[in-house]
Amino acid sequence: MTTPCIITVAITGSLPQKSDNPAVPITVAEQVESTHAAFEAGATLVHAHVRKDDGSPTSDPERFARLIEGVRKHCPGMIIQLSTGGRSGAGRERGGMIPLKPDMCSLSTGSCNFPTRVYENSPELVDWLAGEMQANGVKPEIEAFDLSMIFQAAAMQQAGKINGPLHVQFVMGVKNAMPVDRDVFEFYVKTLKRLAPDATWTGAGIGRDQVTLVRWSLELGGHCRTGLEDNVRLDRNTLAPSNAALVRQASDLCAEYGRRPATVAEARQLLSLRAAR
C-alpha cells in the first residue's frame, strides 16, 4: 500500500496581496474561512503567516492566537503550522508565537538569497528558535532552501536540538535560491533518506512550478504543498479562485500516482504528532 499524501495549504504568506489575487485571505476571519474550504477540499495541514489590516506582514502573537482558535473550531484535527519566516519580523520576534503551542512551526536551518534580499538565519537564531520549539512541544518543519540546510537539520537532531523524526520541506523556485531542478530534487530525497532514514518530506514549488513539485512529490513518495502563498494561479492564464481550488488540483493529481490524500488522523500519525488538541 502506498503512503497517503499530506496536502499542505499555505494560505497567505507574507507577500501576495489582494491586488495580485483577490482570493488571498488577509484578515484572520478570511484566513479561517479560506482554511476551512481548503480543509474540506482535502488539505490536512495549514501553513500560515498573519498580516496587519493593511496587508503588511507581522508576527503578532495575538493574531496567530485568533487564527489557531478559528482553525481548531472549524477544521477539527487539522495540523496547524505557523511561520517563523523572516519577512514578518526581525530576530527573536519571529518566534513570538511558538509559546502558543501550535502543532508545528517552520524552521529554516540556514541563510540564502531571496529575490530582493538576504534571508538571514544566523546559527544563534536558528538554535534559539529550535530551542523554543523543543521547550513548547512544537514540531519544526525544516525549510530547506539548499542542501546545506538538510545537513544542518540532521546535525541538530544528532545534537539533541531537534526531536526526531525530522520533517523537511524542499523549497524550489525562489528567485536567487534553488531553482526547480529534477536532479537536485532527487538528490535531496536521497540525501535526507541517508542522513535521517525515518524523516518525512514535502516538496514546495514557488510560482508557476507549483504543480511540477506536487507531481514530483507524489511520484517519489513525499507529501505536497500548494496554496496562494506560493502561487496565485491555477494555470498560466487563470488566477486561482481560492486556496481550495489549488488543493483540489493537488488532490485530483494523487490518483495519477497511485496515491490519495491523507485523512487528518493519518497525517498526524505520519508526522508523529499527537492527536488533535
Footprint on this chain of Zn ion (rule: CB under 5 A): 83
Instruction: Tell the smallest beta-carbon distance from residue 252 to Zn ion (Å).
Output: 24
Instruction: Tell the smallest beta-carbon distance from residue 81 to Zn ion (Å).
Output: 9
126 contacts 91 by C-beta, under 8 angstroms: no
Count Cβ atoms within 10 A of the Cβ of residue 195 and give its class: 0-12 exposed, 13-18 middle, 19 or more buried. middle
Which of 132, 230 has the CB closer to Zn ion?
230
Which of 15, 276 has the CB closer to Zn ion?
15
Which of 83, 108 has the CB closer to Zn ion?
83
Instruction: Tell the smallest beta-carbon distance from residue 218 to Zn ion (Å).
Output: 21
Instruction: Tell the smallest beta-carbon distance from residue 205 to Zn ion (Å).
Output: 14
| Angstrom distances, CA of residue 262 to CA of 3, 36, 117, 267, 271 | 8, 16, 36, 6, 11
Which three cell numbers mark 122?
544566523
Which of 83, 202 has the CB closer to Zn ion?
83
Instruction: Tell the smallest beta-carbon distance from residue 146 to Zn ion (Å).
Output: 17
Strand bridging mode 112-113 / 200-205: unpaired
Which of 49, 215 has the CB closer to Zn ion?
49
Number of residue whose CB is nearest Zn ion: 83
Which of 222, 227 has the CB closer to Zn ion?
227
| Angstrom distances, CA of residue 34 to CA of 9, 75, 108, 142, 152 | 10, 11, 26, 25, 34
- Burial readout 154-173 (b: 16 or more C-beta within 10 A, e: otherwise): bebbeeebbeeebbbbbbbb
Which of 120, 266 has the CB closer to Zn ion?
120
Which of 34, 83 has the CB closer to Zn ion?
83
Look at the chain and count its residues: 277
Instruction: Tell the smallest beta-carbon distance from residue 92 to Zn ion (Å).
Output: 18
Instruction: Tell the smallest beta-carbon distance from residue 12 to Zn ion (Å).
Output: 8
Give every CB contact of residue 240 below 8 A, 6+ residues apart in sequence: 21, 23, 228, 231, 232, 233, 234, 246
CA-to-CA distance for 159 and 131, rounded, in angstroms?
12
Residue 166's Cβ-side half-sphere holds a number of Cα atoms within 13 Å equal to 32
Residue with cell 523549497: 171
Instruction: Tell the smallest beta-carbon distance from residue 85 to Zn ion (Å).
Output: 5
The separation between CA 39 and the C-alpha centre of its own chain, rounded to angstroms, equals 15
